[in-house]
Each structure stands twice: as structure tokens, then as C-alpha cells.
Amino acid sequence: MGFPATRMRRLRRTPALRGLVRETQLRAADFVLPLFVEEGLATPTPIDAMPGVARQPLAGAVEEAIEAQALGISGVLLFGIPREKDEQGSGAWDDDGIVQQATRAIHEACPGLIVITDLCLCEYTSHGHCGLLDEDGSVRNDATLELLARAAVSQARAGADLIAPSDMMDGRVGAIREALDEDGFEETPIMAYSAKFASAFYGPFREAADSSPAHGDRRGYQMDPANAREALRETLLDIDEGADLVMVKPALPYLDVVARLREATGLPLAAYNVSGEYAMVKAAALAGWLDERSAVLETLTAIRRAGADIVITYHAKDAARWLQET
């Protein structure tokens, strides 16, 4: 029935009524907090392009994890910055590497907190690309798979609850799954960065992780921002290779992709609210152009509404505090 018998505003009249019929719920347990852990660092180093975020020494990463767990956040996603880099990115599979150290330390300090380890070589290679290079500077896909598999096993040995390959090499989920199974880690799940786009919104992250390519770019292996059908193909291939969870990165410019993948698969789906998205909100809030709390909670709700089960976000701690106040 139409107006006046039907009045849509009836259920918007009070906060209690709005809460009763709210379709999308936002909880701290939906969040994963990314952490940058730097080997040899003495004190936290603020990241200029990401106000409120810093590179952390090992002890600082543990403190961040303790705080996140106390706020009800489900897990942390670790990115490592090694003391030294080389052409192969060998620090990625060092059993005493910074991510491996952080994984063990956080597990000891925060029983029950999920520790997810990002798996890529870009933070460990001297050239900043995500794999081994040919003489012409292009990334060698198949040769890189072996190194990713070695790094995955090292992270699993350190106690990673989830391995999260973000490199976008073809076949890497299958190679990692096989290596984990052969080493006795058949119970360790893989969260694949399945639809990772070659995005302009990664700029602040590359400052944070010291991972900018020394030459060229990553468009030869990360996805073209124009392609949504290809994102579905990538995701289904990762599922066929053994992915347990899948991800879309970035989140906000690709909410249509999040929605498509939600409809196409029953797997748990993550979306990464990336550094550039975070920096834009922070910059606008610092300039007084919008209310940070309202903008952040609306943004995270939109990502959940599009279909993401898990939201990886640098806003996680602030959002968790604000949700406690509502």
C-alpha cells in the first residue's frame, strides 16, 4: 500500500526503532587492524601520510595488539620491514624475521587474538617488486611461487593463524597450499588477496612499508581497476586452488566488486579499507571539512553492507571505541 497508509518514516522516529530494523550491523569483532613492524626500531616512527599510524618496534606491535584485543577487535594483520633487503626478498622466509618474531610475541601476549601474516616479497626485495625479476625487470611468476611457499611455511611455523598472500602471482594459492600441507600445516587457512587492484590508493602504505618499486609499477600483475568480471575469475581460481577466505583490495572504490563476490561465493569475504582511503578521511577531518567519527562509521558500515564479513582497516581502534559509546 502507498502513502498515506504506508509511511516509511514510522520506523525512523527514534534511535531504538532505527536500531531494531537496522539491516547491517557493525561490530569491533568485524575488524582486523593492520600493523607495520620494523626490525631494529627502538621507538614508534609516525607515518606522515597516515596520522595516528606508526611503524612499530616489536614491543610496540605487541602493545598495539593488546590494545586491539581489549577493544574487541578480532585480529591483526602484520607487515614486516626488515633491517636489510636483497633481490630475492630472503627476509620473508627467515624463521627469525621480524614478522615471525612479532607473530610469536603477539600470540604469547594475546591468547585468542587472530594473527594474520601478509605474504608478499615487496617489503623484503631491494627493488620493491613482489617477486624475482628477469633481466628486463619483469617479474618472474613461476620462479616466485617457490619463494612465496617457503615464506608461507616459515610464517606458519611461527604460529600464524592465517596466511594472506597479496602478491597476485598466478598459481600462488595452490603452491602455498601444497607447501603448507607437505610441512604439516594442513590446518592453517589461506586468506587470498584475490581481487587486488593496481590502485592509486596505496600511496601512503608504500611510505609506511618502504615498498615502492624502484622502477616501473605493478600493473603487470595487479588487476586493472576497470575490470570487475576478471575479479570474479581471479577469485574463483583462488578458491579452486584452496583459498579459505578471499579479499577485495581496496574497498571503497570497489564496493561493486565486493557485492559481486558476495553473491558468487559462500566463502568468508574480506575487504581492505586501504591507506589512501584512511588518509583522505583523516586529512578532511583535520581540516574541519567533515566529522571523522560519523564518516568512519558510515564508511565501515558501507563496506559491510556491500557484503564484506571482515573489514581490514587502520580505523579499527577508533571505530571500536566509538561503537562502545553508541
Whether the Cβ atoms of residue 45 and residue 38 lie closer than 8 Å to each other: yes
- Of 85, 249, 282, 317, which residue is the catalytic one? 249
**CB neighbours of residue 75 within 10 Å:** 24
- Choosing from 85, 196, 282, 317, which is the catalytic residue? 196
Q: How far is CA 295 from the centre of its chain?
A: 20
Q: Residue 192 pairs with which residues in a beta bridge?
A: 246
- The pairing of strands 54-56 and 162-165 is unpaired
Per-residue pLDDT tens for 125-161? 888 778 888 878 788 899 999 999 999 999 999 999 9
- For the chain, list residues with pLDDT below 70: 209-217
Q: According to the model, what pLDDT value does residue 220 have?
A: 80
CA distance 61 to 37: 6
CA distance 213 to 206: 9
C-alpha cell recorded at residue 324: 562502545
3-state secondary structure of 196: strand
CATH no. of 24-325 = 3.20.20.70
pLDDT of 213 reads 64
CA angle 267, 34, 122 (to 5 degrees): 90
Residue-range domain boundaries for the chain: 24-325
CA atoms of 191 and 28, how far apart (whole Å): 20
Closest CA relative to residue 29, chosen from 72, 76, 67, 78: 72
Whole-angstrom distance, CA of residue 232 vs CA of residue 230: 5
Distance in angstroms (rounded) separating the CA atoms of residues 112 and 5: 51
pLDDT for position 265: 95
The H or E element containing residue 32 is: strand 31-38
282 has catalytic annotation: no
pLDDT at residue 212, as a whole number? 64
Q: Please give the Cα distance from 100 to 264 (Å, whole number).
A: 34
Q: What is the pLDDT of residue 47?
A: 94
The secondary element (H helix, E strand) that includes residue 304 is helix 292-306
pLDDT digits (tens, 9 = 90+) for 230-241: 999 999 999 999
